[in-house]
A = this chain, B = another copy of it.
Amino acid sequence: MRYFVTGCAGFVGSTLADRLLGDGHEVVGFDNFSTGRDAFIAGALQHPKFTLHRADLLDAPAVRAATAGCDAIFHLAANADVRFGADHPLRDFEQNVGVTMNVLEAARLNGIAAVAFASTGSIYGEATVIPTPEDAPLPVQTSLYGASKIAAEGFIEAYAEAFGLRAFIFRFVSLLGERYTHGHVLDFCRQLREHPHELHVLGNGEQRKSYLYVGDCIDAMLLVMQRCTERVCIYNLGSDGYCQVNDSVAWICERLGVQPRVTHGGGDRGWIGDNPFIFLETAKIRALGWTPTLTIRAAVERTVDFIVKEQL
């Protein structure tokens, strides 16, 4: 198989590219290196079955040219900056929806059979049902990021219906693991490197979130693409549990061997649109036989080790 991977130099994209190459597939990678890193694809670039396009997905003709001859697309590239969405109101629209339209048009025009999409549990807004299943009641969007992802999902589904391609939509919780470059574990590690005796936590620290190890996420995506036979396959990907931000703080501090004084910003959420409780129902993916190999705590610890090792 020849896979097109957007965001191939990012956290998830580079990990997936390595995995697909290891499984014997060809990978055509596409990244604008806005957050992607050369170091993450250094290995892939040595591989004869890897091709890199250093270009922007906003450039529709470039996307169309690069996808020619591919069998399936993993569309992972996105503006994943949930927290600062409101500072740049059009960014999520342009980079997450506009770009998805370019990917879909490329798939349609090149007759690509399947599009897999990295969506998010954020599309459930402040869910009324927790753990939140794939067919939860229609949510009210609370972040521009979530809005952009549910918008992209809808267009992918409509393309599947209108043009006969197959759609695989994966709603992730936050991912952890090697090559993590963005999120609370990094924020806390950086604070503690600078001031080992102080840590400031947004909100009251009681926000409850679920996390998943990136390797487990990739296992789940590949399994669904093997097993699900529907035209549109929608799966939550998450752990069978959640932790409080304060739990995560304790694990990080223990791993780093520090005992800081922890201060809290207050309130039940970290920022506008922050969701104080994210926990996805994962019965659907588990029914395919998948189960995460790492607990949330183990995933946090691996992430800390990576951050320390790479001096991020």
Which residues of A come within 8 Å of B, CB atoms?
85-86, 89-90, 93, 97, 101, 104-105, 108, 125, 128, 134-144, 146-148, 150-151, 153-155, 157-159, 161-163, 232, 234, 272-273
Known A89-B105, A101-B93; contact A154-B158, beta-carbon cutoff 8 A: no
Is A137's CB under 8 angstroms from B140's CB?
A: no
Closest to A136 in B: B138
- Interface of A, secondary structure class, is helix
Q: Which of A108, A125, A142, A157 has the most CB of B within 10 A?
A: A157
Chain B residues near A136: list those with CB within 8 A: 137-138
Residues of chain B lying within 8 A (CB to CB) of residue A141? 153-155, 157-158, 161
B residues within 8 A CB of A158? 85, 141-144, 146-147, 273
Bound-state CA distance A150–B150 (Å) is 8
This protein's copies in its complex: 2
| Chain B hits for A153, CB < 8 A | 141
A155 touches B147 (CB 8 A): yes
Which of chain B's residues has its CB closest to A230's CB? Answer: B140
Q: A101-B93, A150-B154, A155-B151 are in contact. Are A138 and B139 (CB under 8 A)?
A: yes
Chain B residues lying within 8 Å of A151, measured Cβ to Cβ, are 97, 147, 150-151, 154-155
Distance between A110 CB and nearest chain B CB, rounded to angstroms:
14
- Docked CA distance A273–B142 (Å): 29
Cβ contact within 8 Å between A162 and B86: yes
Distance of A101 Cα from B97 Cα, bound (Å):
12
